[in-house]
Structure 1
Amino acid sequence: MSWSDRRKVLALLAAAPLAACGFSPAYAPGGAAHALREAVALAEPKDRDGFDFANRLQDRLGRASAARFRLDWTVLAEPVGAGITPSGAITRYTLKGRASYALVRLDGGQTVTSGSVDSFTSWSTSGSTVATLSAEQSAEQDAHRRLMIILADQVVARLIAAAPQ
């Protein structure tokens, strides 16, 4: 048996367990992600974090043109001092976040899936000049935006895993 024939046999053997377990790509036509695409109406955001969270959900799920589901959600982000100098100045913050969600069928109102996801991100601080303070605000806003993207991606992954066919 030539080396290239062995590679083909090994590739077929590696793919066999996936075929046996009923694996199907989530984003393929008829897959779980396809069932949610442009079918989920989102609750309105109430603040900047909510706007960033909802925007990412919409990027991933599409704008609901013919909604079959409603996604109720809340997000919470809390900065916590993580790096402290001997004099007590905070030099690094960790932004802890949690998103709770519930996917509800519009026809009947039953909850398809619900849960919560957690994550964190950080940003660094330094001196106290006006330019540094401005940079710190920008770093904090960026950390909030990154956290909302992380949380939204986790929620979408959970929705796809539990999506109705």
Structure 2
Amino acid sequence: MSWFDRRAFLGALGAAGLALAGCGFTPAYGPGGAAGALTGAVALSEPEDRAGYLLNRRIEERIGRAPAGRYRLETAIETDTGDFGTTSTGSTTRYRIASVVAFTLTDTATGAEVLRDSVESFTDYSATGSAVATLASERDARERLMVILADRIVDRLILSATDLPG
């Protein structure tokens, strides 16, 4: 790439940045961004099991901990595990874990429901190693799945933050 092409490319990037700034674009995590309304403002429901704990842990990593937050997030996790890969002899080589998390965001001051939605995802793990390796793979897959779902919940909350009261 010649210097002229690089300059043209960088100039186009700068122009695109100015165009986005002119249309009111604000980065979600930037100053005045939508994520700022949620940071430290969402209290989470008590986890019922390990999946709930992992989900809450990731949400707190993303938007902070708020035991007495402006909003309360209630979650309900449904998980299903099934065979995903088998050999010609019928031995299972992979399992798929699918989960749906229904969540409700409530304004703690008024008790009004602000947002009701759900997210879903899946992940797989291998069952071809030893029993210990398979258990470790399953545990890791469940943790990955909760991280994916928590990230999707936080993304939905951030997208809805402009509609939140106050």
Q: Would you say the 8 A contact 2:44–2:67 is kept in 1?
A: no
The Cα shift of 1:141 comes to 0.7
1:45 paired residue among 44, 47, 54: 47
Identify the residue that residue 85 of structure 2 maps to in structure 1. 83
Pair 1:135 & 2:137 matched:
no
- Gaps in structure 2 of 5+ consecutive residues: none
Using a 3 Å threshold, how does the CA distance of structure 1 residues 85 and 108 change in structure 2: closer, same or farther?
A: same
Aligned residues: 160
Using a 3 Å threshold, how does the CA distance of structure 1 residues 144 and 9 change in structure 2: closer, same or farther?
A: closer
Residues 88-97 or 5-14, more deviating? 5-14
Give TM-score scaled by structure 2 length: 0.87
**SS at the partner of 1:139?**
helix
Using a 3 Å threshold, how does the CA distance of structure 1 residues 18 and 139 change in structure 2: closer, same or farther?
A: same
How well do the aligned residues superpose, as a CA RMSD in angstroms?
A: 2.0
**Cα shift readout 1:110-144 (whole Å, capped 9, x = no counterpart):** 122221111111001126xxxx1111111101100
1:35 paired residue among 34, 37, 47: 37
Give TM-score scaled by structure 1 length: 0.88
Using a 3 Å threshold, how does the CA distance of structure 1 residues 47 and 5 change in structure 2: closer, same or farther?
A: closer
**Superposition pairs for residues 121-132 of structure 1, below 5 Å?**
121-126=123-128, 132=130
The Cα shift of 1:8 comes to 6.1
The Cα shift of 1:26 comes to 0.9
- 2:59, 2:86 → 1: CA distance? 35
Amino acid at match of 1:134: V
Identify the residue that residue 142 of structure 2 maps to in structure 1. 144
Q: Would you say the 8 A contact 1:38–1:66 is kept in 2?
A: no
After TM superposition, which residue ranges in structure 1, 4 or more long, deviate above 3 angstroms? 2-9
- 2:59, 2:12 → 1: CA distance? 39
1:156 paired residue among 154, 157, 165: 154
The Cα shift of 1:104 comes to 0.8
- 1:9, 1:72 → 2: CA distance? 47
- 1:8, 1:55 → 2: CA distance? 40
The Cα shift of 1:93 comes to 0.5
The Cα shift of 1:76 comes to 1.8
**Cα shift readout 1:78-103 (whole Å, capped 9, x = no counterpart):** 11101111221111001111111111
1:70 paired residue among 49, 67, 72: 72
- Gaps in structure 1 of 5+ consecutive residues: none
In percent, how many aligned pairs have the same letter? 41
Ranked by relative contact order (alpha carbons within 8 Å, sequence separation 6 or more), the top structure is 1
